[in-house]
Amino acid sequence: MRSTRLSSAFFAIPLALGASGAFAIELDVPAQSLESALTDFAEQANVRLLYDASLTRGGATSAALKGDFSISEGLQRLLQGSGLTFHTGDDGTVTLLPAATDGSLQLDATRVTGQGNGRADLPSPYAGGQVARGGRIGMLGNQDMQDVPFSFTSYTRELIESRQAQTLGDVLNSDPAVRQSYGFGNFSQVFVIRGFQLYTDDIAFNGLYGILPRQIIGTEAIERVEVFKGANAFLNGAAPGGSGIGGAINVVSKHAEDTPTRSVTLDYASDSRTGGHVDLGQRFGEDNRFGVRANLAKRDGETAVEDEHSHFTMAAFGLDFRGERLRLSTDFGYQKQRLNEGRSPVYLTAGTALGGKVPKAPDSTTNYAQPWSWSQLEDTFAMVNAEYDLSEHWTAYMAAGGKYTRENGVYGSSYVYALDGSSRIGRLYSPLDQETLSTVAGLRGSLVTGPVSHQLNLAVNGLWQEKRNAFESTATGNRRYSNLYEPVDVAPPLATATGDLHDPRTTAKVRNRSLALSDTLGFLDERVLLTLGVRRQSIGADAWNAGTGIRTSDYDKSIVTPIYGLVIKPTDYLSIYANHIESLIQGPTAPSASSNYGEMFAPYRANQTEVGVKLDWGTYGGSLGVYRIELPQGVTGTDLVYRVDAEQRNQGIELSVFGEPLPGLRLLAGGTLIDTELSGTAGGTNDGNRAVGVPEFQFNVSADWDVPGVPGLALNGLLLRTGGQFYDTGNVYSIPAWTRVDLGARYAFKVDQRDVTVRASLENVADKDYWASTNGGYLTQGAPRTLKVSATVDF
């Protein structure tokens, strides 16, 4: 069994307890990093070993240990010269401690009990601490990476902090399978996984859709970011926003740890953005059963883009209780973000003046937004989780949450019609109120029938959402002239209102309900794992015209999605996997131009087939997968009949490497090749073309290195390389491949016995001017060179 995290810094390697440690045990521990040696020792000696992960940082190594030794003798030899000692508790638990220095008093270790990090459901970090060994796989719950037939990565708080990530997008820059862009007309972060969009509306929070702040998600209250690659309707249910075909993201909140959390961070980012973050956590009561965690953050100032001003406020709280059988937690928070003169996406007005070419990207700091443009996002959210152990092998669980969103903004987008940057400016004002309620309940358990083990799961999901909005938009002929390279401030163009801008009426309601059942069968001492499951999904959606209030859609369809997954583990370090799984989005309604206007179609069913291998050598690992996803699409034929006959097919190869292959060197790297093809398009005009916004390739190389001889100093770097993308389905307009390099450093030291960490990073070091994405059918420009510095004090 591998290490299990106890807190932000503690590891535990739990095994059957040995005796007092006086008897001799045959040990064979090779020379390696001290952390890896301790893992091997705990497994071979069959003891529970607790230690603070920071004690083994800095490249500490251990000599080989081979022969018959008592637990005490073996540990003394492994720890020789490390500056560490150990204490053995009454229950046989061994705790590592800093060795006492002259004149100091060595105290006995405090016994740690229960779930050490305050989250019973958190898998342990992998070697290097940047990713975890496992993550939440939808209704299957938390799983080890080697035991499931899927590809996923779980990023830890350690990575979030070391990268100074302030938004979810900053975290996902480290994932080679994910790229991002802005939303239509505004500044929401949209992620692209396996060539398909994932909106922030469709990102889960502790397993529930619809709870997280909309559009842009801050990281101050996040413990883990779990990225699932591939179709996932069976595991998570249909996403309410109709995205997530190629992958899913789950955000795990911070909760109190066994060791108190008290930290203050001050930060600065170019051009003049300053802020602060306070993180407080404490457990109390018998056996530390009760926990409280609070995160408060505020950030204001001008960004590295000229005249773009950002204002961010966040408050999040987590309460939890962990009893013998019952575990409860609740999370609630508030987030508000305002962006003045935010640099918007760019649209191309197709015509002879462009000549089939995309204008080059402006200078990285140029802001072609208008001074009257702004966006404000305000969210209040809450959720509660409960788990109860019915017996040693069966657990019942439920979760429920809700969110209220108020979104406002005046957006000014550029429509470029010539290569010299000539453009016209439109205006959109679109106030939105949104309310969401989301629930899940289920039962998980295990049993054995003869030589076969079973992991059974039953889940019921429900989501209800209501939107109220109106809009005011500029007609094409009323747009005002400007230039992409030499922006001109123009008066707000005339716009026509639809609906009541001050009191928007209901325009949409969503009702998603589902029932799912699965069984993972284990054969040959669980060397072979077969997962079978089925979900019955109902998707309901009503829509009304914002101006007249007339109903425009009354959609209600149900569909069944199966799953087949296989894992074969021929050795302890190798897993071979395969899966067939689907994703779902609401089916279309035939448009007014078709002869079958108003006909509703069943939900779109995206089929995925994937095979791959996963390797785990203890200190580093990797995976290689090959997948194919087929998504049907609607099209109006030459006979004017609307049918679901078109298809987008994405297939690719994904490679990832992670861990700490050498003491003090932490790696995250990988790449993907994506081939995409359209078929069944109107009149066959675009058959064989690539899909819009899907790069031909993308890869990342990330390294974090402890500088030898300088305790506490570490350097890091990130290289992102992304292939070319087409802007249109006709494959006439395209952007070239681009490369971005980020560099950073951090230094940890003590001041008056308080831990202090100073971090600095420079993003887009070369200050490259580039179009980052054509996803959505518009251009998103990459961020300019940005300096970030921060200082964190633990007290």
- Between 19 and 662, the higher pLDDT residue: 662
What is the rounded distance in angstroms from the CA atom of residue 773 to the CA atom of residue 786? 19
Closest by Cα among 379, 398, 376 to 387: 398
User: Quick check: 110 pLDDT over 50?
Assistant: no
pLDDT at 116: 36
pLDDT digits (tens, 9 = 90+) for 429-467: 999 999 999 999 999 999 999 999 999 999 999 999 999
Closest by Cα among 110, 72, 106, 74 to 89: 110
- Between 540 and 101, the higher pLDDT residue: 540
The whole-number average pLDDT for the span 700-714 is 96
Query: Of 1.10.150.240, 3.30.980.10, 2.60.290.11, 2.170.130.10, which CATH number belongs to 134-253?
Result: 2.170.130.10
Read off the pLDDT band of 602 (50, 70, 90). confident
Cβ 224 vs Cβ 251: under 8 Å? yes
What is the rounded distance in angstroms from the CA atom of residue 645 to the CA atom of residue 682? 9
pLDDT at 2: 33
User: Quick check: 10 pLDDT over 70?
Assistant: no
Task: Give all strands (DSSP E) within 119-272, no chain letters.
Answer: 134-136, 142-144, 151-156, 178-182, 189-193, 196-199, 204-205, 222-229, 247-253, 261-269
Q: Helix %, strand %, coil % for the chain, to 5? A: 5, 55, 35
Cβ 288 vs Cβ 260: under 8 Å? no
| Minimum mean pLDDT range among 64-73, 157-166, 327-336, 485-494 | 64-73
Only one residue has tokens 């959720």, namely 383
Average pLDDT value over all residues in the chain: 89
pLDDT at 13: 42
Cβ 705 vs Cβ 716: under 8 Å? yes
- Which amino acid is it at 15? L
pLDDT digits (tens, 9 = 90+) for 342-381: 998 999 997 778 999 999 999 999 999 999 999 999 999 9
Eight-class DSSP state of 107:
P
pLDDT at 37: 83
User: Quick check: 105 pLDDT over 60?
Assistant: no
User: Quick check: 35 pLDDT over 90?
Assistant: no
Query: Of 3.10.310.30, 3.30.1330.10, 2.60.40.420, 3.55.50.30, which CATH number belongs to 4-98?
Result: 3.55.50.30
pLDDT at 6: 32
Residue ranges of the domains in the chain?
Answer: 4-98, 134-253, 261-794
pLDDT at 269: 97
The whole-number average pLDDT for the span 208-213 is 94
User: Quick check: 98 pLDDT over 90?
Assistant: no
The whole-number average pLDDT for the span 733-751 is 96
Closest by Cα among 766, 701, 695 to 736: 695
- Between 187 and 374, the higher pLDDT residue: 374
Read off the pLDDT band of 8 (50, 70, 90). very low
Identify whether 271 is preceded by a cis peptide bond (ω within 30 of 0). yes
Burial 26-48, CB ≥16 within 10 A → b, else e: ebebeebbbbbbbbbbbebbebb
pLDDT at 53: 64
pLDDT digits (tens, 9 = 90+) for 117-150: 334 568 989 999 999 999 999 999 999 999 999 9
| CATH topology identical between 134-253 and 261-794 | no
Closest by Cα among 692, 650, 655, 647 to 675: 650
pLDDT digits (tens, 9 = 90+) for 479-515: 999 999 999 999 999 999 999 999 999 999 999 999 9
pLDDT at 506: 95
What is the rounded distance in angstroms from the CA atom of residue 660 to the CA atom of residue 645? 48
- Give how far Cα 38 sits from Cα of 31, 277, 414, 626, Å: 11, 35, 59, 36
Torsion of the alpha carbons at 284, 286, 290 and 292, rounded to the nearest 10 = 10
* CATH architecture of the domain formed by 261-794: Beta Barrel (2.40)
pLDDT digits (tens, 9 = 90+) for 551-578: 988 899 999 999 999 999 999 899 999 9
The whole-number average pLDDT for the span 290-306 is 97
Please report, rounded to a whole number, the percentage of residues in the chain having pLDDT higher than 70: 93
User: Quick check: 650 pLDDT over 90?
Assistant: yes
Read off the pLDDT band of 63 (50, 70, 90). confident
Please report, rounded to a whole number, the percentage of residues in the chain having pLDDT higher than 90: 74
| Minimum mean pLDDT range among 10-19, 442-451, 490-499, 659-668 | 10-19
Cβ 173 vs Cβ 718: under 8 Å? yes
What is the rounded distance in angstroms from the CA atom of residue 148 to the CA atom of residue 230? 13
pLDDT at 705: 97
The whole-number average pLDDT for the span 193-203 is 93
pLDDT at 64: 79
pLDDT at 94: 82
